[in-house]
Copies of this chain bind each other. A is one copy, B any other.
Amino acid sequence: MARRNEHSKAQLRTLAIAAVRAIVAEQGPDKLSVRKVAEHIGYTPGMLYHVFACLDDLILHANAVTLDGLLQRMQAATALSPAEALQTMAGQYLALAREEPHLWQLVFMHRMPQAAAVPAWYQQRTLQLFVLVEDQMARLSAQQDAAAVHLAARTLWSSVHGISVLAVENKLSIAGDVDETAMLQSLIHHYLASWARNSVNGDDA
């Protein structure tokens, strides 16, 4: 193709990642293909394999952009009190899912081929998000040990994820009239109220 030599490898990677995000945002994760990405940026599919190992590698890099956006949203809350920060971070998680449902779904729908391990650089990207939550949990209760903070942060994330996925996929109506923001607030308020108190009197039940 005529444009083949117009871009450096780095530029081509950036173009391809942006193309994946544009295609998924518009058409949904199921409609993504190497051919569409190549067409979108005016290169041959073969050229993409010069800069990405495979479509999964490309998808992980597109997902990393989504996670970086979430990290930025959540970091803005760290100046608040721990409980307020965690409420705000949960709200940002739901807001991202609402504002970019297809890109958000791509993060959770994507599976590595043949159950291959997620690369370390991507694991590190997700770990940054948990560290943000764990820092607030630790501020909330200095007496909880690392294992308790680890479990609590992941329990809150999984629970917030459940409320968000049911809200974004319009599955809450089956449960009768219920507001996802009220559920988020109830979840975090009550979980933290007991979790922080237990740490003080040493009850880890």
- A residues sitting closer than 8 Å to B (CB atoms) are 108, 111, 115, 118, 122-123, 126-127, 130, 150-152, 154-155, 157-166, 169-176, 178, 180, 182-183, 186-187, 189-195, 198, 205
Chain B residues, CB < 8 A from A166:
158, 161
Docked Cα-Cα span, A179 to B191, in Å, equals 18
Tell which of B122, B126, B187 touches A155, judged by Cβ atoms closer than 8 Å: B187
Copies of this protein chain in the complex: 2
Instruction: Beyond A152-B186, A158-B159, A162-B164, list 18 extra A-B contacts (CB 8 Å).
Output: A108-B169, A108-B171, A126-B174, A126-B175, A130-B175, A151-B178, A154-B175, A154-B183, A155-B183, A158-B162, A158-B163, A158-B175, A161-B165, A187-B191, A190-B192, A190-B194, A191-B191, A194-B194
Docked Cα-Cα span, A178 to B176, in Å, equals 32
Chain B residues, CB < 8 A from A122:
174
Chain B nearest CB, measured from A160 CB (Å): 7
Residue of B nearest to A193 (CB): B194
Chain B residues, CB < 8 A from A123:
174
Residue of B nearest to A203 (CB): B193
Which interface residue of A115, A126, A175, A182 has the most chain B CB atoms within 10 A?
A175
Contact A150 B127 (CB under 8 A): no
Chain B nearest CB, measured from A163 CB (Å): 4
Chain B residues, CB < 8 A from A191:
187, 190-191, 194
Which interface residue of A169, A173, A183 has the most chain B CB atoms within 10 A?
A183
Contact A195 B205 (CB under 8 A): no
Chain B nearest CB, measured from A145 CB (Å): 14
Docked Cα-Cα span, A192 to B118, in Å, equals 35
Docked Cα-Cα span, A36 to B178, in Å, equals 37
Chain B residues, CB < 8 A from A198:
190, 193
Chain B residues, CB < 8 A from A157:
175
